[in-house]
Amino acid sequence: MTSQASDGPTIGELGEFGLIAQVQAQIGGNRHVLLGPGDDAAHVSTNDGTFVVSTDLLVEGRHFRRDWSSAHEVGRKAAASNLSDINAMGGVATALTLGFGAPADLPAEWALEMVRGFELECSHVGAHIVGGDVTASDAIIIAVTAMGDAPRPVRRSGALPGDVVAYAGDLGLAAAGFATLSRGFRSPKAAVEAHKVPHPPYAAGPQAAGAGATAMTDISDGLLADLGHIAEASGVAIDLDSTAFVIPEAVATVGEALGRKALDFVLTGGDSYALVATFSSETNLPSGWTAVGRVSDGEGVTVDGQPYDGPEGHQHFR
């Protein structure tokens, strides 16, 4: 029998990306791995081509609550968060597998309605469930693996000094919705619904890849946090112009009601699944993309030339 290791840091001390870095160093790669862990999706070769693949988890009580969201909404959110990873590589998802853990007393209709929501969201990009697994669990756990095509996968590591930083999609709405629900309110409706069912800009990923985006990621943990991954992977500095962002009306409403800056939701709010990318300064940005910053020599992410005052986004295990 193998004894449980007790030396060294805990997962909480390492954090999500510290743990991923150690796992990546341990597993290495092989000739089929064109891009391994650390990006939005892996890029893998086969005998007759390549594909991109990503896995994500939704856990009851952490990513959704049944008293806030219907089974249908949970299914759509589970699909959207995974389809977004393929989108962030400049690709389009084609197939997904679905792992489902649940308590034995969960009504079967809840699971079936969740799958109906999942399939509806997949239909937006033409993807479909092709398999999965079911097991008993103390809480609902939804594990999804998404696979798709990406003719020119866009990594996080390609940003260059002089590039323009731009985003596509809505920022801050989901975070404002979470803050609203956490205080027992159900409006503004646009913010609450964005938390329950995100709306990734599915056309924007392939558009950005086709326009020559140098780096890209989706925004799941917060714009500043996720841009930080691009800055670190690319070895560059990124500065954002706070006046360039479009702040949704519902975000401004929530900010005023809660005594918070609306820009905080935009810069640090997670679960939006918008996209942020870098482009050469000579590129004409595709429709729906808004320029908000610049890439330069250096490191880290700043706002209006200054370090951001406060947490930059969600951190797992913290």
The residue from 125, 149, 173 where one domain ends is 149
Q: Is 7 known to sit in a ligand binding site?
A: no
Q: Is 85 known to sit in a ligand binding site?
A: yes
Indicate if 144 and 178 belong to the same structural domain: no
Query: What is Dmax (Cα atoms) for the chain?
Result: 61
Q: Is residue 4's pLDDT more than 60?
A: no
Q: Is 220 known to sit in a ligand binding site?
A: yes
Indicate if 170 and 238 belong to the same structural domain: yes
Indicate if 182 and 265 belong to the same structural domain: yes
pLDDT band for position 84 (50/70/90)?
very high
Flag the least confident range among 26-40, 73-87, 165-179: 26-40
Q: Is 133 known to sit in a ligand binding site?
A: yes
Q: Based on the structure, what is the number of domains in the chain?
A: 2
pLDDT at 1: 40
Closest CA to 116 of 76, 64, 67, 59: 76
Indicate if 209 and 288 belong to the same structural domain: yes
Q: Is 48 known to sit in a ligand binding site?
A: no
Residue 100, in any domain of the structure: yes
Indicate if 66 and 118 belong to the same structural domain: yes
> CA separation (Å) from 105 to 44, 101, 143?
39, 12, 20
pLDDT band for position 28 (50/70/90)?
low
The residue from 102, 121, 149 where one domain ends is 149
Write the pLDDT tens digit of every residue in 226-272.
Answer: 999 999 999 999 999 999 999 999 999 999 999 999 999 999 999 99
CA pair distance 120, 289, nearest whole angstrom? 26
List the domain range (segments joined by +) for residue 139: 40-149
Indicate if 209 and 124 belong to the same structural domain: no
Q: Is residue 3's pLDDT more than 80?
A: no
Length of the chain: 318
- The helix/strand/coil state of 1 is coil
Question: What is the DSSP secondary-structure string of 150-201?
Answer: -SS---SS---TTPEEEEES--SHHHHHHHHHHTT---SHHHHHHHHS----
Indicate if 168 and 145 belong to the same structural domain: no
Q: Is 132 known to sit in a ligand binding site?
A: yes
Residue 164 CB contacts under 8 Å (≥ 6 apart), including other chains: 278, 279, 280, 281, 283, 285, 291, 293, 294, 295
pLDDT: is 48 or 94 the higher one? Answer: 94
State which amino acid sits at residue 313.
G
Q: Is residue 17's pLDDT more than 70?
A: no
The residue from 103, 125, 149 where one domain ends is 149
Indicate if 145 and 198 belong to the same structural domain: no
Indicate if 231 and 108 belong to the same structural domain: no
CA pair distance 245, 315, nearest whole angstrom? 23
Element (H or E) spanning 120, and its range?
Answer: helix 108-123
Mean model confidence pLDDT for the chain: 92
Write the pLDDT tens digit of every residue in 268-282.
Answer: 999 999 999 999 999
pLDDT at 2: 46
Q: Is 55 known to sit in a ligand binding site?
A: yes
Q: Is residue 315's pLDDT more than 60?
A: no
Indicate if 117 and 174 belong to the same structural domain: no
pLDDT at 16: 64
Q: Is the peptide bond before 151 cis (omega within 30 degrees of 0)?
A: no
Indicate if 173 and 135 belong to the same structural domain: no
